[in-house]
């Protein structure tokens, strides 16, 4: 089996590449040119991967990437994925995260209509939630240009499935985290920040809205769900989540507690991290995935906090 993964240099792409290699796949990563190479997350497996240079903004480069890799499966994980940046660069976000999906689907349709296609949809599409918990039938109400772009990409995936009978699936994944999470996302910012404080490398941590609630799972668990979706007889969309919700404040408390620190002594609120509008509460119902894919989350909230805090503490200690 051959797979083409966009966003292979990102958190999910790197775990998915490892997972597919273990399953015996030939894995092609679609990467965009940069003046400084950005392969940190895949350095340990780079010799086993093949790379094709393309950009989600550039239709012909995507066609060439598919021509060269001749994939049986395409995993479209590439996107501008940081919500605050989507207000600063709404048009670019629409291009990468929204139209990029159409460019991938168009290229796939022209090259090989039988290719299986996975789209990285997001719980951000539920935004100002219309019901609790959220499932595959919950109406969308996105609250950021990122969420709006994801809704567009989601419906293009549904539309190509229905218009051209393509095997195209959307995984509506709730927040998933890991030691490989980008430093600006709140979970990593907190575990990294707390570890720095514990080691005397910082004396405070500035955050925004502590009341928002998220359904946080472990990225490594979620990757398997993507693969399972493409292994079914029929293409469908699935919610992937833990079913538990916790506030940012609870994440902060648990992370500092792991290091025997009292968070209230160190955390400051900085208004610049507060968004024009936020998503107040997310909690997913993934009973469809449980029933049809046999998928279930394995790492709970405290387990995830521990994995990330321990990793960051040990990493920073080694650098000293
Ligand atoms: P990430 O770490 O930010 O990785 C994003 C990837 O997209 C990077 O490899 C990046 O490449 C690539 N990319 C960005 N713009 C591109 C372009 N124009 N052309 C080609 N590649 C481009 O994101 P992640 O957390 O792994 O998430 C993976 C996907 O799942 C994203 O689509 C995200 O929106 C979606 N998602 C994530 C979550 C979550 O909680 N993590 C939840 C739901 C959905 P560079 O390294 O070159 O920047
Ligand atoms: O924010 C609050 C912030 O940036 C979580 C992406 O992977 O998941 C991610 O989007 C919450 C928000 O993730 C800070 O206001 C407080 O309520 O970690 P985040 P996100 O926006 O939920 C979804 C599913 C995706 O699809 C996205 O690609 O935490 N918060 N203080 C803060 N957030 C950040 N980043 N920094 C703060 O200082």
Number of helices and strands (H, E) in the chain?
Answer: 11, 13
Considering only CA atoms, which of 79, 243, 232, 89 is closest in space to residue 151?
79
**Cα 298 from Cα 225, distance rounded (Å):** 12
Question: Taking residues 67-95, what's their average pLDDT?
Answer: 98
Residues acting as catalytic residues: 122, 124, 146
Burial 269-297 (b: 16+ CB within 10 A, else e): eeeeeeeeebbebbbbbbebbeeebebeb
Q: Name all domains of the chain by residue range, CATH numbers in brackets.
A: 2-176+217-240 (3.40.50.720), 183-214+245-282+300-319 (3.90.25.10)
The helix (run of H) or strand (run of E) holding residue 61 is helix 59-69
Site to probe by mutation for ligand 1, drawn from 38, 77, 127, 176 as the one with most ligand atoms within 8 Å of Cβ, is 77
Report the percent of the chain where pLDDT is more than 90.
100
Give phi and psi for 286, each to the nearest 5: -105, 35
Task: Name the percent of the chain lying above pLDDT 70.
Answer: 100
Average pLDDT, the chain: 98
Nearest-angstrom CA–CA distance, 238 and 235: 10
**What pLDDT, in 10s, does the model give residues 176-186?**
999 999 999 99
Residue nearest to atom 12 of ligand 2 (CA): 212
How many angstroms does the Cα of residue 163 sit away from the middle of ligand 1? Answer: 27
Which of 88, 219, 61 lies closest to 145, judged by CA?
Answer: 88
How do residues 84-106 score in pLDDT, each as one tens digit?
999 999 999 999 999 999 999 99
């Amino acid at each position: 089996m051959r797979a083409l993964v966009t966003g292979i240099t990102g958190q999910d792409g790197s775990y998915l590449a490892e997972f597919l290699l273990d399953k015996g796949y030939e894995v092609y990563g679609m990467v965009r040119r940069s003046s400084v190479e950005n392969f940190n997350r895949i350095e340990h497996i780079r010799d086993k991967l093949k790379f094709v240079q393309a950009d989600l903004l550039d239709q012909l480069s995507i066609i060439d990437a598919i021509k060269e890799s001749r994939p049986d499966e395409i995993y479209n994980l590439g996107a501008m994925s940081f919500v605050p940046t989507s207000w600063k660069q709404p048009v670019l976000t629409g291009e990468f995260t929204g139209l990029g999906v159409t460019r991938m689907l168009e290229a796939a349709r022209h090259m090989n209509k039988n290719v299986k296609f996975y789209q990285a949809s997001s719980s951000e599409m539920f935004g100002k939630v219309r019901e609790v918990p959220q499932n595959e039938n919950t109406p969308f109400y996105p609250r950021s240009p990122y969420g709006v772009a994801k809704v567009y990409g989601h419906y293009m995936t549904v539309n190509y499935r229905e218009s051209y009978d393509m095997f195209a699936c959307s995984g509506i994944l709730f927040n998933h985290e890991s030691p490989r999470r980008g430093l600006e996302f709140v979970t990593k910012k907190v575990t990294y920040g707390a570890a720095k404080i514990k080691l005397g490398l910082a004396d405070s941590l500035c955050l925004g809205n502590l009341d928002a609630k998220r359904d946080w799972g472990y990225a490594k668990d979620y990757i398997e769900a993507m693969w399972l979706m493409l292994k079914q007889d029929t293409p469908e969309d699935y919610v992937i989540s833990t079913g538990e919700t916790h506030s940012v404040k609870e994440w902060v408390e648990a992370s500092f507690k792991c290091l025997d620190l009292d968070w209230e002594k160190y955390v400051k609120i900085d208004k610049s991290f507060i968004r024009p509008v936020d998503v107040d509460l997310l909690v997913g119902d993934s009973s469809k995935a449980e029933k049809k894919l046999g998928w279930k989350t394995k790492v709970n909230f405290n387990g995830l906090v521990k994995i990330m805090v321990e990793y960051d503490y040990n990493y920073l200690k080694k650098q000293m």
